[in-house]
Amino acid sequence: MADIQSLLSVREIKALDKNGSDTFASVLLVRRVTSKTAKNGNPFLTVELGDKTGSFAQNVFGDSPAFDLFTSLREGGVVRIEAKLDYYRDALSPKLLSAEPITTDQLAGSAVLANLVETAPEDADALWTEFQQHIAAIRHPDIRATVQAVFDDIGESFRIAPAAVAMHHAYRHGLLEHTTHMARAARALLPLYPEVDPDLALAGVLVHDTGKVIEYQGDLVTTKSRRGLLQGHVVLGYQLVRKAGMKVKLASDLLERLEHIVLSHQGELEWGAAVIAATPEAVFVAKVDDLDAKMGMVQRLLRNAGENPADEFSEKHFGLNSQLLLTKPKTQTATST
Amino acid sequence: MADIQSLLSVREIKALDKNGSDTFASVLLVRRVTSKTAKNGNPFLTVELGDKTGSFAQNVFGDSPAFDLFTSLREGGVVRIEAKLDYYRDALSPKLLSAEPITTDQLAGSAVLANLVETAPEDADALWTEFQQHIAAIRHPDIRATVQAVFDDIGESFRIAPAAVAMHHAYRHGLLEHTTHMARAARALLPLYPEVDPDLALAGVLVHDTGKVIEYQGDLVTTKSRRGLLQGHVVLGYQLVRKAGMKVKLASDLLERLEHIVLSHQGELEWGAAVIAATPEAVFVAKVDDLDAKMGMVQRLLRNAGENPADEFSEKHFGLNSQLLLTKPKTQTATST
Amino acid sequence: MADIQSLLSVREIKALDKNGSDTFASVLLVRRVTSKTAKNGNPFLTVELGDKTGSFAQNVFGDSPAFDLFTSLREGGVVRIEAKLDYYRDALSPKLLSAEPITTDQLAGSAVLANLVETAPEDADALWTEFQQHIAAIRHPDIRATVQAVFDDIGESFRIAPAAVAMHHAYRHGLLEHTTHMARAARALLPLYPEVDPDLALAGVLVHDTGKVIEYQGDLVTTKSRRGLLQGHVVLGYQLVRKAGMKVKLASDLLERLEHIVLSHQGELEWGAAVIAATPEAVFVAKVDDLDAKMGMVQRLLRNAGENPADEFSEKHFGLNSQLLLTKPKTQTATST
Amino acid sequence: MADIQSLLSVREIKALDKNGSDTFASVLLVRRVTSKTAKNGNPFLTVELGDKTGSFAQNVFGDSPAFDLFTSLREGGVVRIEAKLDYYRDALSPKLLSAEPITTDQLAGSAVLANLVETAPEDADALWTEFQQHIAAIRHPDIRATVQAVFDDIGESFRIAPAAVAMHHAYRHGLLEHTTHMARAARALLPLYPEVDPDLALAGVLVHDTGKVIEYQGDLVTTKSRRGLLQGHVVLGYQLVRKAGMKVKLASDLLERLEHIVLSHQGELEWGAAVIAATPEAVFVAKVDDLDAKMGMVQRLLRNAGENPADEFSEKHFGLNSQLLLTKPKTQTATST
Amino acid sequence: MADIQSLLSVREIKALDKNGSDTFASVLLVRRVTSKTAKNGNPFLTVELGDKTGSFAQNVFGDSPAFDLFTSLREGGVVRIEAKLDYYRDALSPKLLSAEPITTDQLAGSAVLANLVETAPEDADALWTEFQQHIAAIRHPDIRATVQAVFDDIGESFRIAPAAVAMHHAYRHGLLEHTTHMARAARALLPLYPEVDPDLALAGVLVHDTGKVIEYQGDLVTTKSRRGLLQGHVVLGYQLVRKAGMKVKLASDLLERLEHIVLSHQGELEWGAAVIAATPEAVFVAKVDDLDAKMGMVQRLLRNAGENPADEFSEKHFGLNSQLLLTKPKTQTATST
Amino acid sequence: MADIQSLLSVREIKALDKNGSDTFASVLLVRRVTSKTAKNGNPFLTVELGDKTGSFAQNVFGDSPAFDLFTSLREGGVVRIEAKLDYYRDALSPKLLSAEPITTDQLAGSAVLANLVETAPEDADALWTEFQQHIAAIRHPDIRATVQAVFDDIGESFRIAPAAVAMHHAYRHGLLEHTTHMARAARALLPLYPEVDPDLALAGVLVHDTGKVIEYQGDLVTTKSRRGLLQGHVVLGYQLVRKAGMKVKLASDLLERLEHIVLSHQGELEWGAAVIAATPEAVFVAKVDDLDAKMGMVQRLLRNAGENPADEFSEKHFGLNSQLLLTKPKTQTATST
């Protein structure tokens, strides 16, 4: 994996002249493997490969050296391929020249991962360090201990989970990023709303979405888990908090208020809230969540458009319900006057 | 008006023993005056008097010394009465002993005003001074000048207007309070969202609701004005900003973005937005508005319940769509451990 | 309490000639007691008394022999009064001649309770006996043990709770009645839908609403409890089932499915479901719940109208969204042909 | 048609190795025939052929021996083809070797029909025999005669119609199956709800959807008919019942109640009900309809997934608004203890 | 009934000095009669009397000469009373001096009827004459004959029915007025939309609401009838048209289109349409209906406000969803320039 | 451009025998030009060409004589091509033989324009002449001058703009056509509703949608402009009217009413109205707009189906929410009897 620079992304492969016959190398995620049997009785596989820029499918026949490799790999595996550009019936379908698996260890030490799946733009380690400080900022010892117990319980998975499958912060580390951003916003706002208990509110922010660690499954390819489909992240998060609070013996008045923040943070029943926010802290957390979720959509659209967007407006965004203006305000000209 | 302490509020008058016959003095707001004619051809008035604790109606006949006084007073006038407690058919209906008008000047120098209508809990002068500082914090000179021009235009009325007729910050100075609170919140959050232009966003916060100065009318008794009913505060505020921006010659790119914040701040079309927020600043202002509006409802419920609320929960609140838990979290016991 | 026959209900008291001056006896529920202070400094109480046919309020002054009695009684207490009919300002306001408390024990042995609050028309003991048989009909030992553990936990309160504050089966024993009716319906239907696991479905029926035992509070006067307002009966019932299942060590696959029935039984998110039904058993229970809830509304309207209803149609019923035709179909005439 | 076993379904044809050149035989439904003219002036046809597993389109030119055959066949006709596997531009496009029509008579005596269109899993004849028994179970002679007259009127078409185009029981015999299932459910429940007149309710169940016989058209390919689009099955069913009731001279009170069941069975106005259910029988039928419709969706998803489903959950189902858990509960392990 | 001028309306009675003791005469509608029994066993009646300006209730005891009169009168009867002004517990409760029934014949020849119930402002006879001309304007003989047959069937009742219980044209003759106004509008618009068949559209306009003649009952006091509650005016009107079309042997294509106009004229399913408009004529009639309904609300608000309305805006109107500006535009000043 | 008859539309090109190799000529609109770079470093363009019957994309390489032409043309340009039929991977991809630009001047004098984009069926010049007469029909001089000033301001663009991007009158000149049709309808109806001021209503009709001239951009290819996205046509039209009224010094009462018509004409807040109609004129214009919009959808469906539509019903139309019956009523047969 020395020469990552020469690896092509799917977008780059598709940008090649379709009528050409280039060879290329690429590191790709195995999104799906389906076993089939040809009319002559021979088995073959249909393999979908991709990265964060796109994907394509191709057949791997039993006499191919890659057949065994893809048979053993599962959804979410990673391979390095060399191939010759080819199209079959209008769809990219390269001829495999070689294929070798990339192990989790190799990935961990490489910049390739960032090409496979979209990742939070901020450094995950720095976010996690900051996150610890937000926990430490809870002054009430039992509330702090409860929050700590939740994260001791769910551990590493919180760091890499996305905050959603398709909406705001829907990318690797997105849950950590969203929660950390909410903690920053909450701590900036709490001095302005003294009727909101700062310890409960900050704790509520930190744990509000932890149920998503169970609701979503898959390291590189995210889907909803069985528990996610049968209970939903609101109830799952409530259960995590309840378990931690019981363990820590958090006073029942406080535990009930903390659970209530989790149960109500989705804002409206039809958006999945189990109940409507009925404490100052719960109203506050639900609104900070809504604000950062919407701002996260804005940030992602601007980031994907880059510094000099080709279009003045984005496509219509489902979550914002509008097309976002992508160009910056022309404040420089004016202030230079 | 020397002895304000001995004046009774409507709530206090109604708390008197109904079967008693006390006399009392009170300063009250004239809410409505209706002219009628008795069967014998004599004119009489039905006058509704009240303060922020309640109201009652009574007839004033042509031979009463107060008849001329109430004929000349209009909705929104203020009177000092002395009367003898009486009930007529289950409704408070005191016998007037004397009635004299209170002038705007007298009111201005008195603590009585605060008894007549609900007022923002924070000091209006301090809020206004702080408000000037928020305007001054806009660094872009033309944007700042535009905001200044809006407030030069609408002047004093912004200081006393309520932010709503029946929902959040729906009391005297409520608009100033809500806007100032939003400016505080916006300035606390802006460092966290660098893709939001701070000058445009702060300017947007300060002017977003200025159309309400025209939408609402009446100094002490608030109703919607003709322009409010025919155009709505969103379009009226847009027009104020447009006029100011044209006068100041704000660059069209910036003026368009500032106008857009006003047009979109209500969030959803069905809540009265003319368009959906489509710039980072407009999304930001709409969400900060929503957050402070909801927190304002929380604050008012807690304030009205007092330190030791009689009930654990408020009545169901239409805006919050829930009953608010009124008691404070029991964090003291725990932290003392 | 020998002569219950001569006790008048509130409806009967109000039916007396207003201008008369009859004396009467009545056993009534104390709905609310408010302490006030008269202008002369003497304390008095405003007491609201009622039964299932109506209510009225009256003042009890400090020099009344009943003053101490009502001071000690709380919301939900029961009294026997003798009084002289009187009206004050168009409202029933009898003159108390005597008042004595009725203890819970006295009530238990008397037919009076049925006059104070609306009660399920079926005998509560018979319903409870039948209910045990429904539990026993669950063949899977661990599922049955889980259900048994839930009812061991909540105990007696399930027997008397209403199924709602204002809608279907909203009366004493209504929850027991509704759940028993659902069990009957489910057991009649299960042979027709073999893809529904009968043990899980029957268990789901029996426990689906148990959270209401915590959501509602008050023996004779029902309101929502703090936990009801902060968590809702869906989450509270889920927690009861989870606790019982853990205790009994129910296999996780089965416990998850049973919890899912509770979490999804409200049908739609906006009606309070935490998730949408996603197992055959959950779809089945949600639909049987909806069917018996609607039929319960029909039954109550017909019961209250009596055999020969004065009107052909009921008032518009909020839950049914229609006026119910109250007369029976004329099938007799035809069949006699 | 001797060797049906060797006929391939469309799914099986598509599973052949695309790069192979097998020949195969198949019996297929003509879904659509479009006449076109080539640039050289020669006419050709685009013919869409399919069965319940899929479909494909191919051109038939004027010089093909099959040209006359497809010219004469209409949408809904059936053919037996022999062909050589071929793909044209990524789409299955076999080369026709021979094609011959299958007559309705041939179909009637063959197992092929079940391969062409999805059919109710239960035997249609057995369902129909049972259906007669449900009619016979109505004790009131005039109500029973009215129901009989409806089915005498619409005759055979009721037996084969689907219950919907795209939702529950949307397959051949689906209407008969759904109605029969509802009759079973209703008769199981009626003893539990004595305020529901059993004869009216059962009659209502049997006739509630008969308007669909007119609303849908086409024997093997179902679309909405003109009357279906202009009146809808609710009004059409009402008209059928009204006509039958008038003929039988059913007492007006009973006919009106029976018509009301048909008019209200869709439950809500926005789902197509002409009025909201306002009799005990109408509420009952609407709820039993809803229950069996939802359970029919569950049954179809489980049936299509088979005994050992490849996925734990179905795709999201529009009618259930969820992904259904397809695996059975693991009750065996536990009960074997 | 010579001196109608001296009869007082309820509004005028209530405007009398409450403390006075005038006697007055009035002709009033009996809205409700309830039989009661006093404690002493004597029967008495509670009678609600009113006219279009208001109503009041009073007791009539068995020893009153009016007791027999009110016992024999039913809801909707009319009486002439002489009485002495009195109030009982804050409610108007005159002392009856005499009461005599007014027969339908007497009413017919008197201007009193217009005081009892609100009536269409246009002359009913003129409207009816015009209405005949609209029928005659249908050129297609069978369509015209069908429309004629509908009105031959329902006869006189169409002339006096209101168009609604509480919304547009909700007053005596309102249905005739609304339908005639729609016919005027349709005939003015038809030349502009040549794709709309004028005969079908005009016929559709004339019969679209005829079901209301059955849906509403009561001559002077309007409620929904049993058939109205069980079938609704859309289906009832469809049935009337179908019966007439069958009788006249209108071609099935045309009858189906005419029925479709009736079934779809409510516009949306949730507003009661059985199907959505799917012919040019049905779209046209639904939109003309909507236009005239809304304009009828405007006309009624302006009419009730009079030439010089006391308020600039009406109260918020439920149907218009706004407060209507009641003053006329100041076009005179400008045009005089 | 002599031989327009021999030019093929895209629909005609696609109807050619795919396996043939015809050459053809066509005049087409450039819908989109995208610059790409081949693997070998050579630039090429992907060009989307189309007319009102369809479109296709093809690559133009750097060595093609057409490369410079398409580099210089922008979205919305027009070209005449000669090409040889070819398909590439199942998509039309002709081989370009020659390409030359068509200038705006050439287009103006040719019938080709009508083939490129859908156009209002009525003659644009005749519509514009009629439109002037509607302006002239406003009798009030200042209102008329205001309307004239609006059209002086926006000028030519009003004549060619579509009335929508995807719904009613969504084609070239569609805005002029819709507005003219509304003026005809309004003038036909105004004599029937004398409470509507005819000058204000007619002026409101003429200017109500003028904001669309700014909201939409592009001569032949229509998209929403920046101002359209940030302010919406309602506010933009309001601003146009306000500017014109200020210039003409229209009396404020009248200007406010005219502005209100523009602000409210969308009918409901969720459809984009800034306020709900609150004057007789605004209610009237909103309803006439709704009527003509719906009728415009009907007209377009019938026009596109032609005299003898192949199908009895249209596809389901999003705006009408139904499938339209396309065949004419059979009134001839009947009347000939």
pLDDT for position B109: 65
User: Are the C-beta atoms of residues B244 and B149 closer than 8 Å to each other?
Assistant: yes
What number is the average pLDDT over the span B49-71? Answer: 83
Question: Residue A197 above 90 pLDDT?
Answer: yes
Distance of CA F95 to the CA centre of its chain: 32
Tokens for D44, please give them.
């050709």
Q: How confident is the model at residue C290 (pLDDT cuts 50, 70, 90)?
A: very high
Average model confidence (pLDDT) across chain B: 88
C135 vs A71 pLDDT, higher one: C135
Cβ neighbourhood burial of C32 (10 Å; 0-12, 13-18, 19+) = middle
Q: Which of E12, E17, E87, E316 to mutate to test the interface with B (most CBs of B within 10 A)?
A: E17
Separation of first and last alpha carbons in chain D: 53
Report pLDDT digits (tens) over C43-87: 778 888 888 888 888 888 877 878 888 887 767 788 999 988 887
The answer to whether the Cβ–Cβ distance between B288 and A283 falls below 8 Å is no
DSSP secondary structure letters along A242-302:
HHHHHHHT--HHHHHHHHHHHHHTT-SGGGT-SS---SHHHHHHHHHHHHHHHHHHHHHHH
User: Which residues on chain B are in Cβ contact (under 8 Å) with C93?
Assistant: none
Length of chain E as a residue count: 337
What number is the average pLDDT over the span A245-257?
97
Judged by CB atoms closer than 8 Å, whether chains meet at B256 and F232 is answered as no
| Residue A26, strand partner residues | A81
Question: Which strands form D23-37's sheet, in the order they lie side by side?
Answer: D54-61, D43-51, D23-37, D78-84, D95-101
Nearest Cα to C291, choosing from C269, C265, C271?
Answer: C265
Q: For tokens 């000048």, what's the residue? A: B145
Q: Please check the confidence at residue B235 and state whether its pLDDT lies above 80.
A: yes
Q: In chain F, which stretches have pLDDT less than 50?
A: 1-5, 334-337
Assess whether pLDDT exceeds 50 at residue B5: no
Kindly report the nearest CA distance between residue B131 and chain F, in angstroms.
28
Question: Token pair of A247, please?
Answer: 């363990």
pLDDT bucket at E65, cuts 50 / 70 / 90: confident
Instruction: Kindly tell me if the per-residue pLDDT of B304 is higher than 80.
Output: yes
Q: Do residue E226 and residue C325 have CB atoms under 8 angstroms apart? A: yes
ipTM for this model? 0.85
- Quote the pLDDT of residue D140: 97
Q: Which chains touch B (3 or more CB pairs under 8 A)?
A: A, C, E, F
| Radius of gyration, CA atoms only, chain C | 24
C7 DSSP 8-state letter? B
Question: Do E232 and E211 contact (CB within 8 A), yes or no?
Answer: yes
Average pLDDT over residues B225-248: 96
Residues A138-182 have pLDDT tens digits of 999 999 999 999 999 998 899 989 998 776 788 889 999 999 999
pLDDT tens profile B95-115: 888 888 888 778 776 777 778
Contact F295 E288 (CB under 8 A): no
Closest approach of E267 to chain B, Cα-based (Å): 21
Q: At CA A287, angle to CA A285 and CA A289, rounded to 5?
A: 65
For residue C183, pLDDT over 80 is answered with yes
Q: How confident is the model at residue C38 (pLDDT cuts 50, 70, 90)?
A: low
With a CB cutoff of 8 Å and minimum separation 6, the contacts of B146 are: B203, B241, B244, B245, B248, B250, B255, B258
**Which chains, if any, share at least 3 CB pairs under 8 A with chain A?**
B, C, D, F
Query: Are D274 and E278 a contacting pair at CB < 8 A?
Result: no
DSSP string covering A31-84: EEEEEEE-TTS-EEEEEEEEETTEEEEEEEETTSTHHHHHHH--TT-EEEEEEE
Nearest to A97 by CA among A46, A21, A20: A21
Q: Which of D15, D89, D323 sits opposite A229 (nearest CB)?
A: D323
CB-CB neighbours of F24 under 10 Å: 18
**Are F230 and B263 within 8 A, CB to CB?**
yes
| Residue in chain F nearest A323 by alpha carbon | F229
Query: Distance between CA F298 and CA F303 in Å, rounded?
Result: 9
Lowest mean pLDDT among A31-35, B141-145, B196-200, E146-150: A31-35
* Residue D17, helix vs strand vs coil: coil
Does pLDDT of C33 surpass 70?
Answer: yes
What's the mean pLDDT in A67-85? Answer: 83
Q: Does residue A270 register a pLDDT over 80?
A: yes
Report the sign of the C-alpha dihedral through residues A139, A143, A146, A150, in that order.
Answer: negative
B125 Cβ neighbours under 8 A, 6+ residues apart = none
In this predicted structure, the answer to whether residue E68 has a pLDDT above a threshold of 80 is yes
User: According to the per-residue pLDDT averaged within each range, which of A45-49, B50-54, E58-62, E203-207 is highest?
Assistant: E203-207
Instruction: Find all residues with CB under 8 Å of F302, minimum gap 6, and list them.
Output: E195, E280, F324, F326
Residue from the list D192, D257, D322 with its beta carbon closest to the beta carbon of C184: D192
Residue showing tokens 């489509």: B278
> Cα–Cα distance between A175 and A151 in angstroms, integer?
13
D near B: at least 3 beta-carbon pairs less than 8 Å apart: no
Q: What is the pLDDT of residues C302-313, one digit of tens each?
A: 998 887 787 899
What letter represents residue A176's amino acid?
Answer: L
Spell F275-284 as b/e; 16+ CB within 10 A means b. bbbbbbbbbb
| Average pLDDT across chain E, whole number | 88
Percent of chain A whose predicted confidence (pLDDT) is above 70 = 92
Confidence (pLDDT) at B336: 38
CA-to-CA dists, residue C300 to C174, C208, F22, angstroms: 11, 22, 79
Which residue in chain B is spatially nearest to A200 when comparing CA positions? Answer: B329
What token pair was written down for A146? Answer: 């409860």
Mind listing the pLDDT tens digit for each residue in B151-176?
A: 999 988 999 899 987 767 888 899 99
Residue C333 has pLDDT above 70, yes or no: no
Which residues of chain E have a Cβ shorter than 8 Å from any chain D Cβ?
226-227, 229-232, 234-235, 238-239, 242, 256-257, 259-260, 263, 269-272, 274-275, 278-279
Chain C contact residues (CB < 8 Å to B): 36-40, 88-91, 226, 229-230
The DSSP-derived string for B94-123 is: PEEEEEEEE-HHHHHTSSTHHHHS-B-SS-
Q: What percent of chain E has a predicted confidence (pLDDT) above 70?
A: 92
Contacts of E235 in chain D (CB under 8 A): 235, 238, 263, 274-275
At B192, list the tokens. Answer: 């966290």
Residue B324: both structure tokens together: 């608010």
For B165-205, what is each residue's pLDDT tens digit? 776 788 889 999 999 999 999 999 999 999 999 999 999 99
For the packed helices E226-248 and E141-154, what is the interaxial angle rounded to 10 degrees?
140
Q: Which ranges in chain B belong to alpha helices (H)? A: 10-15, 67-72, 104-108, 113-116, 124-136, 141-154, 157-160, 174-189, 198-207, 212-215, 226-248, 252-264, 280-305, 331-336
pLDDT above 90: residue B255: yes
Reduce the DSSP state of residue B78 to 3 states and report it: strand
Q: Which two tokens stand for residue D43?
A: 């006419």
**What is the model's pLDDT at position B22?**
77
Q: Cβ contacts (< 8 Å) between B290 and chain A: which residues? A: 287, 290-291
Question: By C-alpha distance, which of B207, B258, B264 is closest to B237?
Answer: B207
HSE-up of F120 (CA within 13 Å, CB side)? Answer: 26
Return averaged pLDDT per consecutive 10 residues of chain D, 337 residues in all.
63 75 85 71 80 83 82 81 78 84 78 82 93 98 98 92 82 94 98 98 98 88 90 97 97 97 95 95 98 96 85 90 94 53
CA distance E201 to E288: 10
Distance (Å, whole) CA B254 – CA A334: 9
Give the nearest chain B residue to C61 (CA atoms): B17
- CA-CA distance, F299 to F324, in Å (whole number)? 11
Flag if D229 and F22 touch (Cβ within 8 Å): no
- Cα gap C256→C278, rounded to integer Å: 12
Please give the Cα distance from D28 to D3 (Å, whole number): 15
The per-residue pLDDT for D21 is 67
